[in-house]
Structure 1
């Protein structure tokens, strides 16, 4: 018996072809595939005989939903724009959503930067986090994983996907593979973090039953990002750090932003030449270009007014201008 096809709509062939093309180019395309599965179900239910990607269908499916952020809507629009361009290339009729009709500034979000006191409280809570019978290593995984995010500026997806082989405790380095923008990199870790990793390896039975991940889930594979988000919300509550609501943080990803700002602050106070140093930060963080790293200069200047003059003196011309609406 042949395996059931995951896509069932009249547009399933171009949808599957588009996904295959993106993956052949080296993109993981997990979120895109998941969204296209939802779109495929929508087409199958609402217009089962549709053979073209019409303007009406595109506008209807990409309409902004209640309580949906503009960036989320733009993500769905961008996805269907890519699908339409692919369909047109292979001979299908498809409406391409104009780029000028709906755009979002990917750098407009103002991240939450944890203070040293807040970081201390978070780690104190993590170090005392209660064991759980269903997840016997949870109280050991959480404090190390959050320290790794804070000390190395990792994305949460990069941390959970670390395998045992990716964590080289002889050289004290992490090998980040299959990262965003396909930027693999090797990151050094501090001596204190290395010692914690060594202690973790002695305590947690990693590699059990052939599980290759450094942060193994009790249910197989690695810890999921959604599970860690929930645990982090609980840690914030126990640390008495208020959560500011939907989209305002603090988020677990803000450890990465805090790492970058603290790094720049130290460099400025040490008198480092940021013109030469900033590309190193960009490479370390795995940024696609310099814009993301340059944005941290403005955040550092805004958070630490006493060093603003030093930043402006050294590299004012590469600090991105922040429009009023971006800071609201």
Structure 2
């Protein structure tokens, strides 16, 4: 973390929270920027209680100063509230999820099967001297086969990947939620090859499952850089002025490919959505139903599916 100060009554808690997030591999500059803004607001307005009036007052202030922006920054103050409630103040206010209701997600880039095949064909022959020469297929293959977020893949520790039992543990991800995901035989073999070479290169106790040339955890921007290099090496086109593919596109692809497969198999999509939601680590079913909207074959039935889903949710069945 850079050299800066917190000046509000919450200064100590803010430092402890950032240290906690950094220990979990979450050291983003955006979080620091918005929490410094919150700290300055509290100092200027003499806020001394972490209550609903104070938190929502700052949120309204930020919304008015940057109209039309994505509300993703609200997750930082919401996450801080959860941490405060757990560690410092059981009465701390946690920003309600309803504050995100005004945000409309854009249509993501939808990978085609041909693009996926061409991408991984290129990844197997990536021309680089860095660890991405042997870990590209494993990194992006894990995102593709398990629908992981990019940050979840970056933060995996060697002990989180159990190739004997065939699962990975995604710990303390978005919203401080954890989950265990099963792996198929193909991705187990790919991960095993990657792990074997990485152990030969960096020893038995490396800092993360996927690493940089210095054996450090993969930096925030690196997956995007490597994705673009593999995409370009494959000769895949890029849309001028339109939607562009990126690592997160594999997570989108995982979701809508499963939805389309279940539809082709004649399954009840409403009954399957809670399973997909739990697997992908979503906080609510709304986030999962969004992927019905992204799937071209489901656009017409989106409203009907959402309406019929009320009261039809079975037990998820995950431990």
Same fold judged by TM-score > 0.5?
Answer: yes
Match of 1:110 among 107, 112, 119: 107
Q: CA deviation at 1:195?
A: 1.4
Q: CA deviation at 1:115?
A: 0.3
Q: Does residue 32 of structure 2 align to residue 34 of structure 1?
A: yes
Q: Which residue of 1 aligns with 2:314?
A: none
Match of 1:231 among 226, 233, 238: 226
Q: CA deviation at 1:39?
A: 3.9
Which consecutive unaligned segments of at least 5 residues does structure 2 have? 48-53, 89-96, 311-319
Tell me: CA distance 1:298–1:125, structure 2 relative to 1, closer, same or farther (3 Å).
same
Q: Which residue of 2 aligns with 1:163?
A: 157
Match of 2:193 among 191, 194, 199: 199
Q: Does residue 313 of structure 2 align to residue 317 of structure 1?
A: no
Match of 1:214 among 190, 209, 223: 209
Query: How do residues 275-286 of structure 1 correspond to structure 2 at under 5 angstroms?
Result: 275-286=270-281
Contact conserved, 2:31 with 2:76, CA < 8 A, in 1? Answer: no
Q: Which residue of 2 aligns with 1:289?
A: 284
Q: Which residue of 2 aligns with 1:188?
A: 182
Q: What is the root-mean-square deviation in Å for CA atoms of aligned residues?
A: 4.4
Q: CA deviation at 1:148?
A: 0.8
SS at match of 1:282: helix
Q: Which residue of 1 aligns with 2:254?
A: 259
Distance 2:19 2:308 in 1: 35
Deviations 1:149-180 (A, max 9, x none): 11110001111111111111112111111211
Match of 1:138 among 132, 144, 157: 132
Distance 2:117 2:257 in 1: 15
Match of 1:119 among 116, 119, 139: 116
TM-score (norm 1): 0.70
How many residues align? The count is 286
Q: Which residue of 2 aligns with 1:304?
A: 297
Q: Does residue 243 of structure 2 align to residue 248 of structure 1?
A: yes
Tell me: CA distance 1:295–1:253, structure 2 relative to 1, closer, same or farther (3 Å).
same
Q: Which residue of 2 aligns with 1:178?
A: 172
Match of 1:153 among 143, 147, 151: 147
Tell me: CA distance 1:227–1:22, structure 2 relative to 1, closer, same or farther (3 Å).
closer
Q: CA deviation at 1:106?
A: 4.4
